[in-house]
Amino acid sequence: HQQGVFMKCNIGHTDRVLRMTVGVTLMGLAGFGITGPWAWIGVVPLLTGMIGNCPAYTLLGINTAKK
């Protein structure tokens, strides 16, 4: 199956794991009231890590995925 240019995987394995870890950590801190509600921004790195595509990387021409 073929993906469009905006959904092409541009995040490598290590990058994905780090993004998801940071995202879950931030959301957990917010959920337990340890930080303010700003930490719910962790949903962004979590989702980009899960889908394997970062729109900012696309705009900046960055690709950490193996070719």
How many CB atoms are closer than 10 A to CB 62? 12
DSSP label at residue 66: -
Stretch (H or E) spanning 23: helix 13-31
DSSP, collapsed to helix, strand or coil, labels residue 33 as: coil
Mean pLDDT lowest among 6-15, 22-31, 45-54: 6-15
Residue 24 φ/ψ, nearest 5 degrees: -65, -40
Write out pLDDT tens, residues 3-21: 555 578 999 999 999 999 9
pLDDT at 44 over 90: yes
What is the pTM (predicted TM-score) of this model?
0.84
* pLDDT above 50 (res 1): no
What whole-number distance in Å separates Cα of residue 11 and Cα of residue 23?
15
